Amino acid sequence: MTFSTKTAASQGSTLTPPDQTLTGEEMVARAEALIPLLRERAARADETRSVEADTFRRMQEAGLFHVFRPKRYGGLELSEYHHAIIAMTLAKGCASTAWVFSILNGHSRSLLAYSEEVQDELWAENSFATCAGNITVNPKATAERVDGGYLLTGDWGFCSGSDFSEWLFFTAAAGPDGDGHRFLLPRSEARLIDDWHPTGMRGTGSRRYAVERVFVPDRRVVRTKDMANLAEENRRLHPSFDSMVASTPDGHFPYASVALGAALGAIEHFARTVPNSTRVRDFSGVASSLADQDYVATEFASAVSTAEAAASVLVARSRAAEDRGRRRVRASAAERSAERLANAHVARSAVEAVQRIYFLIGTRANHPSHPVSLAKRDIEVIATHQTVNWRESSVGYLSSIVDTFVAAQKAEASALAPE
């Protein structure tokens, strides 16, 4: 299958930025209004490995890609909490669509580390421009220093949301110390490699892109380790944007939110259909109503309880991040590790909940277009992402606990030491 990409500009867009008085709750309501459409198109997105152009446009019209956009460029400047809840809401209809929403918004915020000149280049004439890419350093890529910038060569996979983005960024080692640098360039300067054939999250368009000695000017190159400080310095450009500087490693809340939203969507599907659902008990052909079975009730209740408990964790953690943003306080190392563990817990809970629903339905759920099959495959793929990996997050969390304890012991010993 030959895949082609489109942007708002190439579709002759006449889009208007959203009303900047829209609240987070109103944006959640707009996401809820899209759920029926996303449910209707979820199987198609899975089959074609892309969100439909019309779906993307409707999301643009709803203002969803302005969630983390500065008001200076027509944005809404919402918080981590609302970003997470919108992603969770959209995922009830289609996890791939929700992922595209979350990734592109997260990248918009990370681009605020670039200079005012670059931000103007991105959004001054096109408030709807988005950027996809890959934040992981490709050790095989090369960035040759030349007058005024770099010649970048390499390829990067997992460029989620790239089907419709005008811009891409790639990460490669550069500079005298070989530190990771983020290179920003127009998508037209990169070559598409259509290698996205996963078992789940197929509609995200997380395809690979390659560049061969593409010139990237210095203004569009930022050292990764400097990005948070640069964004902090750029607060002067966007003084009302509380969440401008990410208080968590970029993306964890939405990643976990998408998984949980997909699980909630599967639960809702089961609740809608169980009154008329039966299951053959054995080879005699006798069928039993699922709603009349005790084991169905207990498994369904377990799935609901697991998902609701995870939602409580997600809300509490994202609200705490929202509060830190309001106070302009960056998350500590201990807070970051605790949030990463919490998000891994949410993703793992989503896996547990959807698997319970999947096995209640039986063989019918094996059809790739079945809503629960889609949700199960999507959630399982999300749960493999490094940012919500349970084992890695657990190790990091314990390490932070130990570091905190050791630091407290040293401080206590120092206070008690004779002068």
pLDDT of residue 386: 87
Domain 15-226 shares a fold with domain 252-404: no
Asked if residue 9 has pLDDT above 60, the reply is no
**What are the DSSP E strand ranges found in 277-328?**
278-280, 287-289
pLDDT tier for residue 278 given thresholds of 50, 70 and 90 = confident
Asked if residue 10 has pLDDT above 60, the reply is no
Q: What whole-number percentage of the chain has pLDDT above 90?
A: 80
pLDDT of residue 247: 64
User: Between residues 274 and 4, which one has the greater pLDDT?
Assistant: 274
Asked if residue 284 has pLDDT above 90, the reply is no
**pLDDT tens by residue, 175-207:** 999 999 999 999 999 999 999 999 999 999 999
pLDDT of residue 363: 82
pLDDT of residue 283: 64
pLDDT tier for residue 276 given thresholds of 50, 70 and 90 = confident
**pLDDT tens by residue, 112-159:** 999 999 999 999 999 999 999 999 999 999 999 999 999 999 999 999
Q: Among the listed ranges 17-31, 86-100, 174-188, 321-335, which one has the minimum average pLDDT value?
A: 321-335
Quick one: fold of 252-404?
Butyryl-CoA Dehydrogenase, subunit A; domain 3 (1.20.140)
Alpha-carbon span 66 to 244, nearest angstrom: 13
Q: Which helix (H) or strand (E) holds 214?
A: strand 207-217
Strands 221-223 and 207-217: unpaired
Tokens of 389: 């990996």
pLDDT of residue 11: 45
Identify the bridge partners of residue 216 per DSSP, sorted by sequence position: 150
Instruction: Show Cβ contacts of residue 207 under 8 Å, excluding neighbours closer than 6 positions.
Output: 3, 157, 159, 162, 163, 192, 193, 194, 195, 196
Alpha-carbon span 384 to 198, nearest angstrom: 12
Asked if residue 356 has pLDDT above 70, the reply is yes
User: What integer is the mean pLDDT of 31-44?
Assistant: 98
Number of helical H runs and strand E runs in the chain: 11, 10
Q: Record the pTM.
A: 0.93
Q: Can you give the residue ranges of every domain in the chain?
A: 15-226, 252-404
The CATH code for residues 15-226 is: 2.40.110.10
pLDDT tier for residue 419 given thresholds of 50, 70 and 90 = low
* Among 375, 313, 315, CA closest to 341: 313
pLDDT of residue 280: 65
How big is the chain by its Cα radius of gyration, in Å? 23
Asked if residue 390 has pLDDT above 80, the reply is yes
Tokens of 156: 């990067």
* Among 329, 302, 164, CA closest to 248: 329
**pLDDT tens by residue, 209-265:** 999 999 999 999 999 999 999 999 999 999 999 999 866 555 568 889 999 999 999
Alpha-carbon span 139 to 66, nearest angstrom: 33
Q: What whole-number percentage of the chain has pLDDT above 70?
A: 93
pLDDT tier for residue 13 given thresholds of 50, 70 and 90 = low
Tokens of 232: 């902090």
pLDDT of residue 287: 73
